[in-house]
Structure 1
């Protein structure tokens, strides 16, 4: 037995891939050429994660336009002027708005998983967007002939298929990215929106067996884009009691960038169910300084004072480049941080005797 450690998701794209994405968007690079370059980027990402000692791999989201929009990329039933996500430094990300039904995924995540599996014999996890995030696509003024209730039914069906396809393809675990959870408390401090999000996600999670949910996880963070966040000022104490109502078997908690992680871990220990594993963030992707293995070790040892070691894991706080155009962190820095996480987790496990 040891302490498991997993990547969260995105790795910064190389300059060559970013240039290719720009050329493709301008129409000067064909789909086939871009797909070949993306596959090369996936292969390189997996190779470097293996070299870093990662026991579980990801594709680094090299082929995703973003962690949030991959299911709808290419859809013609979208208006670009949807929900706006403001970040602390003043920049914004904007989701599109749905203009017609029925709602259908254009791409399912198992396509990324199967492509990654071609490059390794090691376990591969797959990140998917939580259905609660996609629920924001439905416009406030509604869609004629397509009710919100009909949309949510279609969304649940599509999200289930997205997760189930990855499980059936042999994903080590399927991770739901739920960054909007903490953000919801900033938008609605009453917690009503958060409860809606929890209900939307549980409607999907309830369709899986206990054994399947043991291979499903939920990742939460205050956002991490362009070296900024959207909800770090929201108290985890307001999120965690509701978060652990999600019927998943694994929880990935941003923690390295928290000002008082021991306080948050204490709260988590009060609310976490005894049948789940908690992966604690020990790497801050926004901090340009590469953590040492010793720093990671100490963060793991602190977490072990609150979370039983047999239910403890480690991860990064969030992906390093959740949107393809985020170049705030270099590819080299990301891999150095990941290597420190793997080494520091192993050091902590040895010290804890597991």
Structure 2
């Protein structure tokens, strides 16, 4: 198959792992037993992704508390009263707030990657959180003795190390999760916050060579948590021209759940940087209906009317369970959608003669 296809990242955690996490939190399971449960969940996830035909796999983020907070899990200099992320159905997620410096990651993503590689027989990609998301940890009122500019300098160093560690460990690709991009336009329609996010992320991306950036991608979506989104009502036409200013080799763009994909693709075709690849979302993780391979094929064919075939790929719109406690989608549904994506992409490639 000459049209590449990749998952975005998270898969709903296995029932055994959820039970183990709950028991560990209650002090009823020792760390070694928890680590064994995590390893089994990662192995099972990768086997299922490979069985679905995935040419590239992830660890399903089985041991991440969430796609956003894995670097800071266990950091003591935090309080729970950080930025609130509101979703369309009324529920909220809240980030913690930093209370002291210096800012350091407690865990880097190459550890997840290396663990996954021991179970995989195909290439493994690794998702990391964009530094722009973690910039929201710094409180509006500041931190005594730790100015924001020093925090951002520390954050850039840590984000670079997070990406570089994965590249050095042999990741097929490294994907920056940038869901806050579209959300920023809902919270600040002027685009000022988005501009700051783009500039910060480019401070990190510019530390990599052109060859390294070819293996780095950026994912955007309107959020996907508990079958709800936080910014689906924000027009992509306001986001994509700015998104494509990021110095990355690939862009993973949610599209299956868009009301007017042709409009989005038209904007993307105008602004996609020369040489960059666009992975379009062809399955919707928060829709319980499993796409057929033929539906996926038709979505790819629609994209191919706008994007050159040598710069086109497919993906899922979002992770299936970005937060560990999100069980709104079953593992079986996730793997069925992945199989449909793989098979549908292959059908489109055959019809397009590539």
Q: TM-score, normalised by structure 1?
A: 0.99
- The corresponding residue for 1:88 is 88
- The corresponding residue for 2:67 is 67
- The corresponding residue for 1:13 is 13
- 1:251 and 1:156 mapped to 2: Cα distance? 21
Deviation digits for residues 167-201 of structure 1, max 9, x if unmatched? 00000000000000000000000000000000010
- The corresponding residue for 1:200 is 200
| Secondary structure of 2:27's aligned partner | coil
Deviation digits for residues 281-307 of structure 1, max 9, x if unmatched? 000001000000000000000000000
- The corresponding residue for 1:51 is 51
- 2:288 and 2:145 mapped to 1: Cα distance? 49
- 1:47 and 1:136 mapped to 2: Cα distance? 36
- 2:33 and 2:97 mapped to 1: Cα distance? 30
Deviates more, 1:71-80 or 1:12-21: 12-21
- 1:181 and 1:147 mapped to 2: Cα distance? 24
- The corresponding residue for 1:319 is 319
- The corresponding residue for 1:158 is 158
- 2:64 and 2:27 mapped to 1: Cα distance? 18
Deviation digits for residues 205-228 of structure 1, max 9, x if unmatched? 000000000000000000000000
- The corresponding residue for 2:263 is 263
2:252 equivalent to 1:252: yes
Deviation digits for residues 43-87 of structure 1, max 9, x if unmatched? 000001110110001000001010000000010010011000000
1:27 Cα offset (Å): 1.3
How do residues 187-266 of structure 1 correspond to structure 2 at under 5 angstroms? Answer: 187-266=187-266
- 2:178 and 2:289 mapped to 1: Cα distance? 26
- 2:267 and 2:221 mapped to 1: Cα distance? 16
| Secondary structure of 1:71's aligned partner | helix
Q: Gapped runs of 5+ residues in structure 1?
A: none
- The corresponding residue for 2:141 is 141
- 1:99 and 1:20 mapped to 2: Cα distance? 31
- 2:66 and 2:30 mapped to 1: Cα distance? 20
Aligned length: 354
1:121 Cα offset (Å): 2.9
| Secondary structure of 1:103's aligned partner | coil
- 1:334 and 1:120 mapped to 2: Cα distance? 18
- The corresponding residue for 2:343 is 343
| Secondary structure of 1:142's aligned partner | coil
| Secondary structure of 2:146's aligned partner | coil
| Secondary structure of 1:224's aligned partner | coil
1:26 Cα offset (Å): 1.2
Q: Gapped runs of 5+ residues in structure 2?
A: none
| Secondary structure of 1:287's aligned partner | coil
| Secondary structure of 2:72's aligned partner | coil
Deviation digits for residues 123-145 of structure 1, max 9, x if unmatched? 00000000000000000010000
- 2:80 and 2:21 mapped to 1: Cα distance? 19
CA RMSD in angstroms comes to 0.6
Structure 1 stretches of 4+ with a deviation exceeding 3 A read: none
- The corresponding residue for 2:104 is 104
Deviation digits for residues 231-287 of structure 1, max 9, x if unmatched? 000000000010000000000000000000011000000000121000000000010
Q: TM-score, normalised by structure 2?
A: 0.99
